[in-house]
Structure 1
Amino acid sequence: MKFAPGAWKYAILPLLVAPFALVFSVTASLLALAASAGTLAFFRDPERTPPPTGVVSPADGTVSVLREEGDRVRLGVFMNVWHVHVIRAPFDATVTDVEHVSGANRPAFSKESDRNERVHVRFETASPNLPAAAEPATDTTQNQDEPTSDAEVTFIAGAFARRIHPYTERGDDVDRGDRLGHIAFGSRVDLLFPPTVDLEDVAVDVGDSMTAGETVVLESAADPGSNFVLER
């Protein structure tokens, strides 16, 4: 079993305490072993296989937010203690910015969590799994090599999640399903879709269960390798 970075830092102390606790109490020793095993389970990092097409969920958990914000759509996934807390790329992209924002540590399921500590990972993407932007009718100055979409994955700390660990930095290229980072002991992950995505395009709803890197949250807008957008 693979574990996210930092797992043993948290698990080693109760593991070392367990044999000494046995001198005083079998129960205390078992509790220490359980704490160590529980910590390792929390940091587990199983392999995931993305489906052939579609935008995939960035996190394990339950959809807690699905709303329009101006011309954008936000999808939020709440992670409970039993979920895998490794975050994955929803589509092929290039990282353009990684920004840490200080804030509170409110429960991730509350409305106040929008002001919590967070890390924004911003992307440029021309993924065929996303709806293509309309071509401008008169603007001939746009660089054709520039990506056509931009998006953002936000790691949000919660009441117990005080450590956000992004794995990527500006300029990194990521493939769909690649690991972007993890949140130690929490909490919520948001995906802000590119402006080309409408609310009705999203294939999941509030309350749906997600598996990072595998659950399709937006069906592919075009066949892989094709430059043609499917007619709806």
Structure 2
Amino acid sequence: MTIHKEGYKSIAIATLIFSFLNVFSFFFISASFPWLSWLIFMVLLGLLLFIISFFRIPNRVMTFDDNKLICPADGKVVVIEEMTDIEYFKDKRLQVSIFMSPANVHVNRNPMSGEVIYSQYHKGKFLVAWHPKSSTENERHSVVLQKGDTKILVKQIAGAVAKRIVNYLQPGMNVMQNEELGFIKFGSRVDILLPVGTKVNVSLNQAVKGGVTVLATLS
């Protein structure tokens, strides 16, 4: 397991706060209430370890297949439905949404290899990630990948807690399946818009792993 580069600053700040509060506690509280200082230490240590876990990148055997789309994020499948895309395609698409809890791995990966033909950041609200309007009203970053005649849109969506979206892709880039697409700090949601009729290989409420679980089969 390694720590993602997006976590270096957050972990450093959290470590400084952890150290300062514990020094203060053991110098000014422990003389009268030693048990309280140890309680503060344990609580702060738990919070620090939890923050470090946000940025973990576990060692995995990735799934590679030119005829498959691989899940771009860890989490739970919360939506599989047809919808009308108003951002890019302007027609009906099959949407699959993956909800990322604070306990999930937060790196996002390319579902397939191809060319980046669209990459756009949108300011917005911070509704809870499972809110029906979060896909269109929340802060988000959308990317369209094209391989041959296949085009898919991957949308990183901020939520009530996740308020920092990082995206690494720019139009004209050629990317490989399972390379890093971006990072959402502290959880949220990723939507994938597929051509209608695409065979989806996941089901509602299924737990999936980014870079490992097969999301769909290309025609």
TM-score w.r.t. length of structure 2? 0.83
Are 1:4 and 2:16 matched, yes or no?
A: no
Instruction: Tell me how far apart the structure 2 counterparts of residues 123 and 220 of structure 1 sit (CA, whole Å).
Output: 13
Give the match for residue 101 of structure 1.
Answer: 122
Instruction: Tell me how far apart the structure 1 counterparts of residues 63 and 19 of structure 2 sit (CA, whole Å).
Output: 45
1:125 to 137, 143, 147: 147
Give the match for residue 198 of structure 1.
Answer: 197
Instruction: Tell me how far apart the structure 2 counterparts of residues 106 and 20 of structure 1 sit (CA, whole Å).
Output: 34
More displaced 10-residue stretch of structure 1: 117-126 or 64-73: 64-73
Task: Letter of the 1:15 partner, please give it.
Answer: T
Q: What are the equivalent positions in structure 2 for 1:1-232 lying under 5 Å apart?
A: 1-22=1-22, 23=26, 24=29, 25-53=37-65, 54-69=68-83, 70-114=91-135, 115-126=137-148, 148-193=149-194, 195=195, 197-198=196-197, 201-219=199-217, 221=219
Q: Percent sequence identity over matched residues?
A: 31
Q: Per-residue deviation at 1:94?
A: 1.0
Instruction: Tell me how far apart the structure 1 counterparts of residues 211 and 163 of structure 2 sit (CA, whole Å).
Output: 24
Partner of 2:204, secondary structure, is coil
Partner of 2:3, secondary structure, is coil
Distance change >3 Å, CA 5–CA 203, structure 1 → 2: same
Distance change >3 Å, CA 71–CA 57, structure 1 → 2: same
Q: Per-residue deviation at 1:220?
A: 5.4
Instruction: Tell me how far apart the structure 2 counterparts of residues 100 and 30 of structure 1 sit (CA, whole Å).
Output: 40
Partner of 1:50, secondary structure, is coil
Q: Per-residue deviation at 1:77?
A: 0.3
Instruction: Tell me how far apart the structure 2 counterparts of residues 62 and 178 of structure 1 sit (CA, whole Å).
Output: 21
Give the match for residue 87 of structure 2.
Answer: none
Q: Per-residue deviation at 1:52?
A: 4.4
Higher helix share: 2
Q: Per-residue deviation at 1:48?
A: 3.7
Q: Any stretches of 5+ residues in structure 2 without a counterpart?
A: 30-36, 84-90
Segments of 4+ moved more than 4 angstroms: none
Partner of 2:46, secondary structure, is helix
Instruction: Tell me how far apart the structure 1 counterparts of residues 217 and 197 of structure 2 sit (CA, whole Å).
Output: 12
Deviation by residue 1:19-78 (Cα, 9 ceiling, x = unmatched): 443323222233222222111101112244333432111111111111112532111000
Distance change >3 Å, CA 18–CA 30, structure 1 → 2: farther
- 8 A contact 2:99–2:189 mirrored in 1: yes
Higher strand share: 2
Q: Any stretches of 5+ residues in structure 1 without a counterpart?
A: 127-147, 222-232
